[in-house]
A and B are shown apart, each in its own frame.
Chain A
Amino acid sequence: MSRAGGRRMELEVSVARKALRSASGQTRVVLQDVAFSLRKGEICALLGPSGCGKTCLLRIISGLDSDFDGHIVLPSPHKVGMVFQEPRLLPWRSVAQNLRLVGSSSENDLAEIAAALRLSKHLDHFPGELSLGLARRVAIARAFAVKPDLLLLDEPFVSLDAALSAQLREELLALVLKRKATTLIVTHDVEEAISIAGRIIVLSAAPGRILADQIIEAPRQALTEARAVKMKEEIRSLMANASS
């Protein structure tokens, strides 16, 4: 993987092997030879079938899991903003308090993030009073509240209906582009990956290996309909071949 020289790397991932031990003592290799790096400001989707170790990789990158062979390089100092699959908000703190707790952001900044995710009306609510869609927005807002250098998103749109998911996708993308955060988004949805990312890394079924690492030259809106359809088909067939 050659990169345009001189540009700062935001993240280098090199996982030679990651195995999980089950309670019965069996080991299962989850990730094998997964190595890539992200440039500053890059938006990358990590795509793969369910159970291929995507979430596991995200946990390794975020530092939650250090039991693996390999290394993760992050520039120092750096701030990680993460959105878990579940919102993981503090139920006993209001939305505003949840945002304030993690971040160094000013009140103005928080208000701007909240407005961009259309949360302004809900700042005084407790998480238990929110729908899943709203709670997700809060979790995304919280990730931005830390002024992240690196944004890690684990299936942020899963179990939202199509319309809601498309809308949230646009809002998220607008925020990412405005704040220039390097972003790694985990998904199993090809459509979702293409609509957000400027680069797609496809993982195989377990043990997860990199099947393809593709840069989209004219990403997102600039992508023509025909090109998008062709790309989806390519990626789908790649994934289908790998899992059979």
Chain B
Amino acid sequence: MSVIGTEARSGALFVNLAATLARVAASFVLAMALGTALGVAMGRNKSIDRLCDPLVIVLLNLPALVVMVLAYIWIGLNEAAAIAAVVLNKLPNTAVTLREGTRALDESLDEMARVFNLPLGAKVRHVVLPQLAPYFAAAMRSGLSLVWKIVLVVELLGRSNGVGFEIGIAFQLFDVTRLLAYALPFVGLMLAIETFFVQPVERHVSRWRPSHGA
């Protein structure tokens, strides 16, 4: 506890937390956006699916470490490489989940929208997105946990700040208290994001379900 206090007073804790959080946010948003686009395209179009499916499977099963090291070697020891490595690790996950969601779209509602001549925007907003929302929420939840775990490893390998970097130093010094001083606040932060952001969003998109009404 006192170590958390010292690190907090010196400001190092916050600087490192902020650096990590920025990487988590950037790679999370990128991975969700690209993964969703790819997943929906794969779910709608058979040839895109056939083209991208092997790549997605390879990325899904490739150890995160391999992607990170390759990214650092090919792109360089910089921020872009770090973010790219995390995005590549998360993206196939999102794509596969959203592909399932797109395949499960209700044909009968699509027909309804066609008969009633709904404009494309209204159709996407009121017919398609609500059906994809649960899949998006699932991808978001698993995505956030995956992304922040991977970000720490990326930092450990090739960045000179962030929680992962600090934990790397603690490892070299065998300093368990310092390690926990960085790990615990981070876990707290992620719990707060989960409780105050992810769960309210989930509740909001599923409020129409009768089982949630009670």
Contacts and interface: CB of A to CB of B under 8 A. Distances in A.
**Majority SS at the chain A contact face:** loop
A64 B115 contact: yes
A146 B209 CA distance: 27
A138 to B, nearest CB: 12
Interface of A: 62-64, 79-82, 84, 86, 88, 90-93, 101-102, 126, 128-129, 142, 146
B116 A129 contact: no
Interface residues of B, number: 17
B209 A86 contact: no
Interface in B96-136: 108-109, 111-112, 114-118, 122, 126-127, 130
Interface of B: 108-109, 111-112, 114-118, 122, 126-127, 130, 208-210, 213
Contacts, number: 48
Contacts of A129: 210, 213
Contact of A128 (B115, B118, B130, B210): B210
Which DSSP category, helix, strand, loop or mixed, fits chain B's interface?
Answer: helix
B208 A126 contact: yes
Given A88-B111, A90-B130, 5 more contacts: A62-B115, A88-B112, A93-B126, A102-B118, A129-B213
8 contacts: A79-B117, A80-B116, A88-B108, A90-B127, A91-B208, A92-B130, A126-B208, A142-B116
Please list the 6 inter-chain residue pairs (A to B) with the smallest Cβ-Cβ separation, ordered nearest first.
Answer: A92-B130, A102-B116, A92-B208, A128-B210, A88-B112, A82-B115
Nearest to B125: A101
